[in-house]
């Protein structure tokens, strides 16, 4: 009988801990009040070089969103590429690396939670 009681107690404790874990996750509905802040907003660099771009994901109250999958694409991959995806840290920031391929202009499109933001990157010849 004691073994059965211990198993029941363990089962209930497991269920409660799972509910607490799931309820602590940030579950902002897609597109509802999410803001994407890109820094810098425009980038001028030489082709063949790399630079870092930061994106911060904020909720409608201005609080950072932790663990948000954030993706990025280059509109001109022959001009520049970018790290395809990452997850935001505790301050809601995600870090991307932009690599210049050839001279020209490209836009980087960032997406998170159904929202999008863009930045322009201009790559100059050495």
Q: Which domains does the chain have, with CATH numbers?
A: 35-124 (2.60.40.10)
User: Residue 47 half-sphere exposure, CB side, CA atoms within 13 Å?
Assistant: 14
Task: Convert the pLDDT of each residue in 71-82 to its tens digit.
Answer: 999 999 999 999
| Cut 0.75: pTM above it | no
pLDDT at site 17: 55
Predicted confidence (pLDDT) at residue 23 exceeds the cutoff of 90: no
User: In the sheet where 50-58 sits, what is the strand order?
Assistant: 35-39, 50-58, 93-100, 80-82
Task: Convert the pLDDT of each residue in 84-117 to its tens digit.
Answer: 999 999 999 999 999 998 899 999 999 999 999 9
Predicted confidence (pLDDT) at residue 12 exceeds the cutoff of 90: no
Q: Which residues pair with 104 in a beta bridge?
A: 123
Q: Which residues pair with 45 in a beta bridge?
A: 123
pLDDT at site 9: 67
């Amino acid at each position: 009988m004691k073994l059965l009681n211990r198993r029941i107690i363990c089962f209930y404790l497991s269920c409660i801990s799972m509910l607490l874990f799931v309820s602590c996750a940030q579950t902002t509905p897609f597109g509802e009040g999410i803001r994407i802040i890109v820094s810098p907003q425009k980038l001028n660099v030489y082709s063949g070089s790399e630079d870092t771009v930061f994106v911060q994901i904020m909720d409608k109250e201005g609080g950072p969103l932790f663990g948000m999958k954030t993706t990025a694409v280059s509109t001109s991959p022959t001009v520049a590429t970018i790290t395809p995806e990452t997850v935001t840290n505790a301050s809601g920031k995600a870090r991307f690396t932009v690599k210049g391929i050839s001279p020209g202009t490209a836009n980087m499109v960032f997406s998170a939670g159904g929202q999008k933001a863009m930045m322009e990157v201009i790559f100059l010849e050495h």
